[in-house]
Structure 1
Amino acid sequence: MRIGELSKSTGVDIETIRFYEKSGLLPPPARSDNGYRDYAHAHLERLAFIRHCRALDMSLADVTLLLDSLETHDPEELVKVDVLVASQLGKVRARLQSMRALEAQLVALQKRCDADHDHHACGILEELVSAAHGEACACHPDGAAPVSQRSVT
């Protein structure tokens, strides 16, 4: 099959397929007489595997380790797969915790809205300006906005 068909079948962009080939994640396909890439079913399966790993937010280095592990039956090597997935799960859980904290901050900020904009200043904007000045605000009551948020220019 040609690269366009492979792309359609897997949902992976053509340029990404070429990148995976250049980086060694996907073996180079055979070439037809006219020079077109001729992908086999094995390419389709491998690309679908890579895509699934990427959908799990695994890095290309992690994907490489997993691909290498497909070809081994060495228990010591397979332990690396368990460690990788445990590490990935830890990263996801940390992001979830961070997202919950962000949600709580946004809820606190949203509660500052009076919705009577004809007669009152916008409470949300007032809070954001306070935070920009390093003052306490609804979403950071102790005035401890993250450093990245303090460097407003």
Structure 2
Amino acid sequence: MQIGDLSRNAGVNVETIRYYERAGVLPVPARQGNGRRIYGEADVRRLGFIRHARDLGFDLQSIRTLLALQEQPEASCTDASRIAQAQLDEVERRLSKLQSLRAELSRMVDECQKGVVAECRVIEALNTSPF
């Protein structure tokens, strides 16, 4: 199949496919005599794996490692577990930060009297930087 077919089958933009090839998480494909890339079902599956991992927030280095581990079915999954735990820890950190942001924004909105800007609690709160 050609790159457009791979794009449709995997639900990934053509430029994303090229980027993943340059980044080394998708192998450089064989080419036809006219220079067009040729892909197979294994590329669709690999791209699906990459896309799902990206949706879960894994960075490309982690994905490279996970892909390499996938090729060793008898190996220990300790590294895969460690990578997933690190990602979970990062998600928890972001959730905590988002909850703090939500509380602060909620406080700002609740305190707003919707009067004039000179007395606006939202503007006032933004002017008092915590940094």
Structure 1 position 85, deviation (Å): 0.7
1-structure distance, mates of 2:121, 2:108: 8
1-structure distance, mates of 2:103, 2:121: 17
2-structure distance, mates of 1:122, 1:59: 41
CA-to-aligned-CA distance 1:104-134 (integer Å, 9 cap, x gap): 111111122112449x7322113323x05xx
| 1:110 corresponds to | 109
| 1:74 corresponds to | 75
Matches within 5 A, 1:84-95: 84-95=83-94
Q: Which runs of 4+ in 1 moved over 6 A?
A: none
Higher relative contact order (CA 8 A, sep 6+): 2
Structure 1 position 27, deviation (Å): 1.3
The answer on whether the counterparts of 1:3 and 1:37 sit within 8 Å (CA) in structure 2 is yes
2-structure distance, mates of 1:126, 1:21: 49
Consecutive unaligned residues of structure 1, counting only runs of 5 or more, are 133-144, 148-153
- Identity among equivalent positions (%) equals 37
Structure 1 position 14, deviation (Å): 1.4
Structure 1 position 100, deviation (Å): 0.6
Q: RMSD over aligned Cα, in angstroms?
A: 1.7
TM-score by length of 1: 0.78
Structure that is richer in helix per residue:
2
Larger radius of gyration: 1
Matches within 5 A, 1:1-153: 1-72=1-72, 73-75=74-76, 78-117=77-116, 121-129=119-127, 131-132=128-129, 145=130, 147=131
1-structure distance, mates of 2:110, 2:46: 49
Consecutive unaligned residues of structure 2, counting only runs of 5 or more, are none
Count of aligned pairs = 130
